[in-house]
Amino acid sequence: MSTLIVTARRNLVQRIANLLRKAEAGRIELSPWQLRRVQEAIEHLEQERFAEGERTMSEAEWPKLYEPAGYVADKPLDRRHLVDQVAAVVAAA
Protein backbone atom coordinates (compact mmCIF):
# COMPACT_ATOMS: atom_id res chain seq x y z
CA MET A 1 0.00 0.00 0.00
CA SER A 2 1.39 3.39 -0.94
CA THR A 3 2.40 5.95 1.65
CA LEU A 4 -0.33 8.32 0.44
CA ILE A 5 -3.04 5.73 1.00
CA VAL A 6 -1.66 4.78 4.41
CA THR A 7 -1.59 8.45 5.41
CA ALA A 8 -5.09 9.16 4.10
CA ARG A 9 -6.45 6.10 5.92
CA ARG A 10 -4.71 7.06 9.17
CA ASN A 11 -5.94 10.65 9.00
CA LEU A 12 -9.55 9.61 8.46
CA VAL A 13 -9.39 7.00 11.23
CA GLN A 14 -7.99 9.63 13.60
CA ARG A 15 -10.76 12.11 12.78
CA ILE A 16 -13.46 9.53 13.34
CA ALA A 17 -11.88 8.25 16.55
CA ASN A 18 -11.31 11.75 17.94
CA LEU A 19 -14.93 12.77 17.48
CA LEU A 20 -16.22 9.54 19.01
CA ARG A 21 -13.74 9.85 21.89
CA LYS A 22 -14.95 13.41 22.65
CA ALA A 23 -18.52 12.14 22.76
CA GLU A 24 -17.57 9.20 24.95
CA ALA A 25 -15.81 11.54 27.39
CA GLY A 26 -18.92 13.70 27.56
CA ARG A 27 -17.21 16.74 26.05
CA ILE A 28 -19.75 16.87 23.22
CA GLU A 29 -23.19 15.44 22.52
CA LEU A 30 -23.57 13.91 19.05
CA SER A 31 -26.92 14.38 17.37
CA PRO A 32 -28.53 11.57 15.35
CA TRP A 33 -27.52 13.47 12.21
CA GLN A 34 -23.86 13.59 13.34
CA LEU A 35 -23.91 9.88 14.17
CA ARG A 36 -25.21 9.17 10.66
CA ARG A 37 -22.40 11.27 9.16
CA VAL A 38 -19.84 9.31 11.21
CA GLN A 39 -21.35 6.05 9.98
CA GLU A 40 -21.06 7.30 6.39
CA ALA A 41 -17.43 8.29 6.99
CA ILE A 42 -16.72 4.77 8.25
CA GLU A 43 -18.31 3.38 5.10
CA HIS A 44 -16.09 5.65 2.99
CA LEU A 45 -13.07 4.45 4.99
CA GLU A 46 -14.04 0.86 4.30
CA GLN A 47 -14.32 1.59 0.57
CA GLU A 48 -11.05 3.58 0.59
CA ARG A 49 -12.88 6.73 -0.51
CA PHE A 50 -10.84 8.95 1.80
CA ALA A 51 -11.69 12.36 0.32
CA GLU A 52 -15.42 11.65 0.69
CA GLY A 53 -14.82 10.43 4.23
CA GLU A 54 -12.94 13.62 5.11
CA ARG A 55 -15.77 15.75 3.70
CA THR A 56 -18.34 13.75 5.62
CA MET A 57 -16.35 14.14 8.83
CA SER A 58 -16.17 17.90 8.28
CA GLU A 59 -19.96 17.90 8.21
CA ALA A 60 -20.12 15.80 11.39
CA GLU A 61 -17.66 18.09 13.18
CA TRP A 62 -19.52 21.28 12.18
CA PRO A 63 -23.23 20.52 12.64
CA LYS A 64 -24.12 24.21 13.05
CA LEU A 65 -23.02 24.73 9.45
CA TYR A 66 -24.32 21.54 7.86
CA GLU A 67 -27.05 19.82 9.90
CA PRO A 68 -30.44 20.31 8.28
CA ALA A 69 -33.17 21.77 10.47
CA GLY A 70 -35.68 19.20 11.61
CA TYR A 71 -33.55 16.16 10.76
CA VAL A 72 -35.22 12.92 11.85
CA ALA A 73 -33.17 9.73 11.88
CA ASP A 74 -34.64 6.81 9.96
CA LYS A 75 -33.22 4.48 12.62
CA PRO A 76 -31.35 5.20 15.84
CA LEU A 77 -27.58 4.74 15.84
CA ASP A 78 -25.58 3.84 18.91
CA ARG A 79 -22.23 5.57 19.36
CA ARG A 80 -20.73 2.37 20.82
CA HIS A 81 -21.73 0.49 17.66
CA LEU A 82 -19.83 3.06 15.59
CA VAL A 83 -16.73 2.66 17.78
CA ASP A 84 -16.90 -1.10 17.21
CA GLN A 85 -17.51 -0.62 13.49
CA VAL A 86 -14.47 1.61 12.98
CA ALA A 87 -12.32 -0.80 15.05
CA ALA A 88 -13.42 -3.68 12.81
CA VAL A 89 -12.56 -1.73 9.64
CA VAL A 90 -9.12 -0.84 11.01
CA ALA A 91 -8.46 -4.43 12.08
CA ALA A 92 -9.41 -5.73 8.63
CA ALA A 93 -6.95 -3.41 6.86
Q: Residue 16: name the closest of 67, 47, 54 by CA.
A: 54
Q: Looking at residue 75, what is its pLDDT?
A: 85
pLDDT of residue 72: 87
pTM for the full model?
A: 0.92
53/2 Cα distance (integer angstroms): 18
> What's the confidence (pLDDT) of residue 1?
73
Mean pLDDT per 10-residue run, the chain (93 residues)?
92 97 95 96 97 98 95 88 92 84
| pLDDT of 60 | 97
